[in-house]
Amino acid sequence: MPRKTADQRSQERADAERRCWEQFRPKLGALQTFDDAVALVGQAPPPDAPGRRFYSNLGFFLNDFAVPNGSGSDERRLYLQLVQRIDAAGGLKPSALAPIERVIKASLGRE
């Protein structure tokens, strides 16, 4: 069997990432609490595995509700919805939601 070109390997990696995002997206969208989100981060695939970055990005986001540099707009919209659900469940201090929302919305506006 002939060796794959760099372009073919790159395309395979991109396809694997896309499939992983399609599996991760509904999990992220279904989270209701901070503890649920932390538990999802704990299910991360090993380093360098396809999809690992989505779990890493979520872990980074949960650390101080900062937008990860490598996150896409769909991912950031889901983070916005997640933080709103966490707040609705009583998981944020009073008045903490508005500044977090501003930061996420600003990051969406820079695209």
Give the domain extent around 27: 6-109
Q: How far apart, in whole angstroms, are the C-alpha atoms of residue 95 and residue 99?
A: 8
Q: Are 55 and 43 within 8 A, CB to CB? A: yes
The DSSP code for 1 is -
Do the domain assignments include residue 95? yes
Number of domains observed in the structure of the chain: 1
pLDDT (0 to 100) of residue 96: 95
Do the domain assignments include residue 29? yes
Instruction: Write b or e for each residue in 55-82: b if 16 or more Cβ atoms lie within 10 A of its Cβ, otherwise e.
Output: bbbbbbbbeebebbeebeeebbebbbeb
Whether this prediction's pTM lies above 0.95 is answered by: no
The tokens describing 21, both together, are 């995002």
Do the domain assignments include residue 1? no
pLDDT (0 to 100) of residue 9: 86
Do the domain assignments include residue 79? yes
Q: Name the stretches of the chain with pLDDT < 70.
A: 111
